[in-house]
Amino acid sequence: MKKRGQTKRYSIDYEKIKMKTKKPKLMMQGHTDEIFTPKYAIKPLLQFLKKDWKIWECAWGKGSLAKHFEEEGFVVVGDKTTDFLNEYENHDIIITNPPYSKKEDFLRRAFELGKPFAFLLPLTTLEGIKRGELFKKYGIQLIIPNRRINFIMPNKQGGAWFQVAWFCYGLNLPEQLNFVELDKSS
Ligand SMILES: C[S@@+](CC[C@H](N)C(=O)[O-])C[C@H]1O[C@@H](n2cnc3c(N)ncnc32)[C@H](O)[C@@H]1O
């Protein structure tokens, strides 16, 4: 029985907590390189693009993102065999949802190419010493939707467990951080 003024001591089993904490499903499946972008994800970006720009979709996947921009009247170049890290397509802007396991290499290559780009990436991409150096050297602007995106996964549609943003370079956005409402109706 606890007496007045006596502090009750709890012992916390951190190992047990760690074991019980479930990893988000998508992370466990290791599928973060093969997730595809729904159309509404491009809406916040459209107002900052010039209609006559040629878009290079440099991580084609199944072509979902390319199709969305084509439907909006843009010319899109790229295909599923292109290796962005070693090949080149003529373009005005690169827009993609890159493979997350290679996000640093993709960012470095895009910065070095020197033309505008917009990459849909997890907000945590801001973390990290090497990426920090890149952002400091070249600058970066973000379009941050207020809701998460339900990425299309090979066999099902599910809620992404991470918040993403458009990481933009060379687009002269009004602010460095641009908070926008995401309209999920297509
Ligand atoms: C996250 S998915 C997104 C696909 C598409 N951009 C979309 O938004 O629907 C990334 C894609 O990049 C592809 N990929 C991986 N390494 C690549 C590389 N070096 N060059 C081009 N694409 C690559 C993966 O196979 C995957 O299909």
The domain limits of the chain are 35-180
**Distance in Å, CA 180 to ligand 1 centroid:** 25
Confirm if 124 and 165 have CB atoms less than 8 A apart.
no
**Is 35's C-beta closer than 6 angstroms to any atom of ligand 1?**
yes
- pLDDT tens for the chain, residues 1 to 186: 555 656 556 565 545 544 454 444 444 444 568 888 999 999 999 999 999 999 999 999 999 999 999 999 999 999 999 999 999 999 999 999 999 999 999 999 999 999 999 999 999 999 999 999 999 999 999 999 999 998 887 766 566 678 999 999 999 999 999 999 999 886
Strands (E), 104-160: 117-122, 141-145, 152-153, 156-157
**Is 85's C-beta closer than 6 angstroms to any atom of ligand 1?**
yes
Does the structural domain 35-180 have CATH classification 3.40.50.720? no
**Is 125's C-beta closer than 6 angstroms to any atom of ligand 1?**
no
pTM for the full predicted model:
0.85
